[in-house]
Amino acid sequence: MPKVLIIGATGYIGRSLALSLLRSGAHTVYGLARTPSKASLLTSLEIIPILGDFIDSAAYLAIIASAHIDVVVDVSGVNDGSYKILEDLKKVGSERLEAAQKAGVRTPKLGFVYTSGVWVHGSSMDAVSDLDPVGVGHAATQPPQLVAWRPALEQAVIAANDVLDTVVVRPGLVYGGPSAIWTSLFKPLFRATQSSAGIAEIAADEDSMPGLIHVEDAASGIHAAVEKLPFISGTGVYPIFDLVSSTESMKVILESAAKAMGFKGKVEMIKPKDDLFAIALNCSINSTSARARTLLGWEPRRVGMVARMEVYAKAWVESQKTSN
C-alpha cells in the first residue's frame, strides 16, 4: 500500500485530501503536525502524525527514509517556504537513489506533488491552459505580485525530476466548508447583516470572473495526481495541471451570498488597488482544466458556487462561530 505524507494535512485542502486518500483504501497516510494537539487531531482521523514543521525538517525527513514514504504532497501554503521543502526532498530523493545504486537494485523515485494555484496565469478572460507559459516576459498576462515568485518554484519542482517524480497542481479559488479564503469578502456582508446596515462595502472587482473549485474537488484532483504520478513524471507529459470547475461572476457571487445571509441593503464593491491579497483574490481565470480531466482522470463533482450559495454561505457563517 503506497505511503503518502501530506505537508499541511491539518489545513483546509490537506484534511480533505487526507480523507480522500484514506477513503480509497489504497494508501497509508501520514501528516505533518506542528503541535501535539494537531497531532492528536490527525490520529483521530486515522492519519499517522509526524510532529514537526517544514523549517525544522529533521523529523519528517527521517520518517520519509525509515518508513520509505512513496509520495510527499505539499499543500502547506507556506509560500516561498516551499523552496526549502523542495530542496530537502531533493536531498532525500537523491540519497534513496544512491543507496539503491550501491545495493545494485532499482527503486522508484520519491514522488512529490506541489500545490500551486491558477493565479499564476494573471487576470484575464482570455482562455488559458496549463500548457501556457506563466511568469515570463512572453506570457500573455503576468501573475499578481502576491504570487509572482510561484512560477519559478513550479519550474524548479518539475526540473527536479532527475531525483524525484514530480507533478504540480494548480487549484482555482477554493470554496466550500469554512471557506477561509473568502472571509475578507464575506465578513463585511455578515457584519452589515448583523448591524442592519444599509450598505456593505467590499474590496472586490465587480467585473472579476474567478476560476473556482470546491475544496472536495481540489482534494480529488490532487488525489488523482498522486495516483497518476508514475505515469506522468518523466514521460514527456508536461506535469502541470490546472484544477478549475467553473468560472463565475464575483458580483453575482457576492450578491447571492448577501441574499443567503439575509442582507437587505446594497452591496458596494470597491476595486482593490493596494491590497495584494485582494488583488489576487479578484483575478479572472478562464481555464477548462481539460488536461486534468483527460490525463489524470479527474472529474469534479461539486460544480457551481452560486447555484448552492445558500449552503456555502451558511457553512461559512457557522465556521465563524466555531473559530471565535
- pLDDT category at 219 given cuts 50, 70, 90 is very high
pLDDT of 53: 85
Q: Are residues 188 and 126 in the same domain?
A: no
Instruction: Give the SS3 label for residue 31.
Output: strand
CATH number of the CATH domain containing 74: 3.40.50.720
Q: Note the pLDDT of residue 66.
A: 92
Amino acid 77: pLDDT: 81
Residue 130: predicted pLDDT: 94
Whole-angstrom distance, CA of residue 312 vs CA of residue 324: 19
Say what the pLDDT of residue 111 is: 96
Q: Can you give the residue range of the structural domain that contains 186?
A: 180-210+246-285+301-323
User: Do residue 160 and residue 47 come from a single domain?
Assistant: yes
Q: What is the average per-residue pLDDT within 221-225?
A: 97
% of the chain exceeding 90 in pLDDT: 81
pLDDT at position 58: 87
CATH of the domain at 191: 3.90.25.10
Contacts of 303 (CB under 8 A, 6+ apart): 214, 217, 245, 246
Give a yes or no: residue 44 inside a domain. yes
Please indicate, yes or no, if residue 296 is contained in any of the structural domains.
no
Q: Are both 195 and 66 inside the same structural domain?
A: no
| Domains in the chain, number | 2
**198 lies in a domain?**
yes
Does residue 316 sit within a domain? yes
**231-288 per-position pLDDT tens digit:** 998 788 999 999 999 999 999 999 999 999 999 899 999 999 889 999 999 999 999 8
On the question of pLDDT at 324 being above 60, the answer is: no
Residue 107: count of CB within 10 angstroms of its CB: 12
Q: Are residues 109 and 225 in the same domain?
A: yes
Per-residue pLDDT, 197 = 83
Assess if residue 94 is contained within a domain. Answer: yes
13 with 33, same domain?
A: yes
Report yes or no: 184 and 172 within 8 Å, Cβ to Cβ: no
